């Protein structure tokens, strides 16, 4: 560590839990932050200020004005410049700490590219907003023996958990498959408290730092759930599923695409079709009530049509959807997970 580093990190080196050795180890670590929205911006901000060695940021979205209340690395200028989140984050983070190596990837995370973006990575931190990508991260991390930290927030509550291959159950031990589309609430339908996001993202970072510095964690194997509004905080142990498709049967259904949704471009129509892997019977009345505050919505017994801004989503009973007003797979998946849930 050079003189500048000692000065910059002085107050965290003073912590018995970190010390010079912990700081050095953090500086030699490479981390992938998957998704740079609400959770991701807080995680990246924490990691870069604390002095991680290399940070890879992967995100497929552009910044919108309704991101600014909680996505702490972005401002009005970024909205006006129509910048991708990964790029705007990189610009900001370089000013915060130029000694951290940053690789910004403007991309959808999918089964074809995830292993490559995890090359040389010591830990993956979840900043995504959808279950499908989390199951893909779980597959990739358990196949490469890399820890990953889960975090999620909706409304005023959140949770986090450190998945460590060889030490803890995996995501599929907890829930064999992702919830069906339309089954879960999203921040775009029920809202989200920015302070709850900061808590979850900061605790995710803390768990990652404990692993990267080799300090271990008393929370390993425990899921923590909290409500930032009520001040409630509970943790509970998770058990390995004796029949887990991944840990026991050795299947990587998301990494080999078997359980990933399929996206197809509909030629000449400026539209994409999304066919979720998990079929369901959507409850249009409930979905319509949830979407009412986000745009205009109408449905009959076969199809629900929702529009917000330039985007129009037509979703069928079995959750197959046509998304208009998007040009590529990433934007289509983004719109689907934002409003319907993936
Ligand atoms: Zn498992």
Whichever domain contains 280, its CATH number is 3.30.310
Same domain, 186 and 272: no
Q: How far is the CA of 161 from the centre of ligand 1 (A)?
A: 14
Q: How far apart are CA 328 and CA 207, in angstroms?
A: 35
Q: Which of 309, 212, 327 is nearest to 266 (CA)?
A: 327
Tens of pLDDT, residue by residue over 106-165, are: 988 999 999 999 999 999 999 998 899 999 999 999 999 999 999 999 999 999 999 999
Q: How does residue 268 score in pLDDT terms, banded at 50, 70 and 90?
A: low
* pLDDT tops 80 at residue 79: yes
pTM score, whole prediction: 0.88
Q: Which residues of 230-255 are buried (b: 16+ CB within 10 A; e: fewer)?
A: eeeeeeeebeebeebbbbeeebbbbb
Q: How far is the CA of 117 from the centre of ligand 1 (A)?
A: 23
In a domain, 316, yes or no: yes
Q: How does residue 267 score in pLDDT terms, banded at 50, 70 and 90?
A: low
Please give the average per-residue pLDDT across 177-197, as a whole number.
83
In a domain, 243, yes or no: no
Q: How far is the CA of 286 from the centre of ligand 1 (A)?
A: 32
Same domain, 73 and 35: yes
Q: Which of 36, 170, 173, 187 is an active site residue?
A: 187
Same domain, 60 and 154: yes
Q: Which helix (H) or strand (E) holds 151?
A: strand 148-154
Q: How does residue 75 score in pLDDT terms, banded at 50, 70 and 90?
A: very high
Same domain, 227 and 284: no
Same domain, 114 and 229: yes
Q: Which residue has the higher pLDDT, 212 or 342?
A: 212
Mean pLDDT of the chain: 92
Catalytic annotation present for 247: no
Least confident of 1-5, 42-46, 48-52, 77-81: 1-5
CATH of the domain at 74: 3.40.50.720
Q: How far is the CA of 147 from the centre of ligand 1 (A)?
A: 13
Helices of type H across the chain: 3-8, 10-13, 19-27, 38-50, 76-80, 85-96, 114-117, 131-144, 171-174, 187-190, 194-212, 284-291, 329-339
Q: How far is the CA of 294 from the centre of ligand 1 (A)?
A: 36
Q: What percent of the chain has pLDDT over 90?
A: 72
Domain extent at residue 271 = 262-339
Q: How far is the CA of 231 from the centre of ligand 1 (A)?
A: 31
For the chain, what is the domain count? 2
Tens of pLDDT, residue by residue over 273-308, are: 898 887 788 999 999 999 999 999 999 887 899 999
């Amino acid at each position: 560590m050079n003189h500048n580093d000692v000065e910059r990190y002085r107050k965290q080196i003073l912590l018995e839990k970190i010390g010079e050795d912990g700081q050095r180890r953090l500086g030699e670590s490479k981390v992938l932050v998957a998704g740079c929205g609400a959770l991701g911006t807080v995680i990246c901000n924490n990691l870069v200020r604390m002095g991680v060695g290399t940070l890879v940021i992967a995100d497929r979205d552009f910044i919108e004005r309704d991101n600014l209340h909680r996505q702490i690395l972005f401002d009005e200028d970024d909205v006006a410049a129509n910048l991708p989140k990964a790029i705007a984050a990189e610009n900001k983070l370089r000013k915060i700490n130029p000694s951290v190596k940053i690789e910004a990837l403007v991309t959808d995370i999918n089964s074809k590219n995830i292993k490559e973006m995890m090359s040389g990575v010591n830990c993956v931190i979840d900043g995504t907003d959808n279950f499908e990508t989390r199951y893909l991260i779980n597959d990739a991390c358990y196949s490469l023996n890399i820890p990953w930290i889960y975090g999620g927030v909706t409304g005023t509550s959140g949770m986090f958990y450190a998945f460590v291959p060889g030490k803890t159950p995996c995501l599929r031990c907890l829930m064999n498959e992702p919830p069906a589309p339309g089954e879960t609430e999203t921040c775009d339908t029920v809202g989200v408290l920015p302070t709850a996001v900061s808590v979850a993202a900061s605790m995710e970072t803390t768990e990652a730092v404990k692993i990267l510095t080799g300090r271990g964690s008393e929370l390993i194997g425990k899921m923590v759930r909290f409500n930032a509004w009520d001040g409630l905080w509970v943790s509970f142990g998770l058990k390995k599923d004796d029949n887990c498709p991944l840990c026991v049967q050795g299947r990587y259904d998301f990494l080999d695409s078997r359980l990933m949704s399929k996206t197809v471009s509909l030629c000449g129509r400026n539209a994409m079709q999304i066919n979720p892997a998990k079929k369901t019977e959507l409850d249009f009345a409930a979905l319509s009530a949830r979407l009412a505050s986000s745009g205009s919505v109408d449905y009959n017994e076969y199809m629900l049509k929702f529009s917000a801004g330039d985007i129009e989503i037509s979703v069928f009973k079995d959750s197959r959807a046509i998304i208009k007003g998007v040009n590529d797979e990433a934007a289509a998946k983004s719109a689907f997970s934002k409003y319907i849930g993936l």
